[in-house]
Amino acid sequence: MNLFDSLENQNKQVPLAEILRPKTLEEYMGQNQVVGKNSAFLNLLQSGRLFSCIFWGPPGCGKTTLARLIATRTSSDFIELSAVSSGIKDIKDCVERARENLRYNKKTILFIDEIHRYSKTQQDALLPYLENGTFYLIGSTTENPSFQVVPALLSRVQVLMLKPIDDDNISEIVQKGFKFLSDRHGSIVLKQEVLDFIIKYAAGDARLALNLVENSYFAADFKDNKRYLSLEILESLAQEKSIKYSRQEHYDIASAFQKSLRGSDKNAAIYWLGKMIAAGEDPRFIARRLMVCAAEDVGLADPNAFNIAVNAHKAVELLGLPEGRIPLALAVAYVADAPKSNAAICAIDEALSDIKSGLDYPPPMHLRDAHYKDAEKYGFGIGYVYTHDNPDYNQQFLPDELVGKKYFKN
């Protein structure tokens, strides 16, 4: 009796994604950069070597599956915890089990799902046991470990970045899902547009793809002992997805937005604007990015760009969303199309660098404040020429040590 039959006999509805979870590394799809032929990671596994690591990647890319397969390949005891529902007591229980395993020369892998949700204290509790080899840690996270994992733990693990599963592999997973259900419950008629829709909807998430496969199979029209799945049924099941937008993506998309503006690609910039709005980004944050870009990248080439960006910020505060998307889009188009000059930011950064490196000088005597009684006694302000009275007078404004220095290059 297989897993599916045994659980089904207990009146449990096991998700298709769980049933079809790969049982061997050879069945594992995607992530060739990590477990592909002759990859360093695979070579280590094949040599029987284990090391602690954190899998960082989006939902449904195979993090948990890969951890389980590693335990199987290395004949290790696999202990699975969720950072949402576990704590230091659970870690201590795992330590006792791992120590017992060591008595029989058996390795232990402690897998912690969503490890970024552990507090600093909980993460610190893992350190001594990684240090002395009590167990090997495999963590999984959708968030950038550099932001969410304490440095002491990061220094003891290898971070492996997993990517969304590519369309070819998602297609194979989807077809495998429909075949499994067809073999067990009867055939289904599929059009290519149905498969294409699921692949696009999944966006690299195998779990999401298989959930939709399972639901759509049983929701399909049934006649003449066959199921017929139409695009209309599929669309009714596929509710509007929330946009994937982690803390890392907040920074990455903001970066792509500003670089697209700098590169004068307004089509790319409007796409990233749309993605930020759809994900629920604070529109004031978007407007501030626009203001920064207008000052930093357009600058003196078109000073009006900054005014437009500032006005877009004001408009967003007055209008809110969804109407605020319109002035934001207008400002995006203007800033992207505007000529570019970074002379201002280069000038101020060079000046700051000079000052911090030791070129820190007082103003020349004739420029110093002379609006008090004893100023002239000290020589302050003597020799200053009022520019409005003598606009052509060649007067020194830089410190003596920096005369001739040019901060603005163009």
**Predicted pLDDT of residue 31:** 87
pLDDT at 7 over 80: no
Q: How many domains does the chain have?
A: 4
**Predicted pLDDT of residue 42:** 82
Residues 256 and 372 in one domain: no
Q: Which of 23-27, 168-172, 279-283, 366-370 has the highest mean pLDDT?
A: 168-172
Q: What is the mean pLDDT of residues 183-193?
A: 91
Residue 11 lies in a domain: no
Higher-pLDDT residue of 318, 241: 318
pLDDT at 300 over 80: yes
* Final residue in a domain of this structure, among 112, 142, 161: 161
Residues 113 and 40 in one domain: yes
Residue 155 lies in a domain: yes
**Predicted pLDDT of residue 240:** 64
Q: How confident is the model at residue 203 (pLDDT cuts 50, 70, 90)?
A: confident
Is residue 61 a contact partner of residue 93, using CB atoms and an 8 Å limit? Answer: no
Q: What is the mean pLDDT of residues 52-59?
A: 93
Across 5-19, 47-61, 269-283, 340-354, least confident range: 5-19
Contacts of residues 403-408 at CB distance under 8 Å and 24 or more positions apart, as own/partner, are: 407/346, 407/347, 407/348, 407/350, 407/351, 408/343, 408/344, 408/347
Higher-pLDDT residue of 370, 97: 97
Residues 304 and 352 in one domain: no
Residue 9 lies in a domain: no
* Final residue in a domain of this structure, among 105, 127, 161: 161
Residues 324 and 375 in one domain: no
**Predicted pLDDT of residue 10:** 54
**Predicted pLDDT of residue 1:** 44
Q: What is the mean pLDDT of residues 295-324?
A: 94
pLDDT at 346 over 80: yes
Residues 194 and 215 in one domain: yes
**Predicted pLDDT of residue 312:** 96
**Predicted pLDDT of residue 374:** 81
CATH number at residue 50: 3.40.50.300
**Predicted pLDDT of residue 2:** 52
Q: What is the mean pLDDT of residues 363-389?
A: 86
CATH number at residue 262: 1.20.272.10
Residue 21 lies in a domain: no
Cα–Cα separations (whole angstroms), residue 372 to 44, 59, 380, 381, 397:
77, 68, 10, 11, 21
Q: How confident is the model at residue 315 (pLDDT cuts 50, 70, 90)?
A: very high
> CA-to-CA distance for 294 and 325, rounded, in angstroms?
18
Q: How confident is the model at residue 12 (pLDDT cuts 50, 70, 90)?
A: low
Q: How confident is the model at residue 241 (pLDDT cuts 50, 70, 90)?
A: low
Residues 180 and 267 in one domain: no
Range of the domain at 186: 167-237
pLDDT, the chain, mean: 90
Is residue 289 a contact partner of residue 258, using CB atoms and an 8 Å limit? Answer: yes
- 151-187 pLDDT, tens digit per residue, is 999 999 999 999 999 999 999 999 999 999 999 999 9
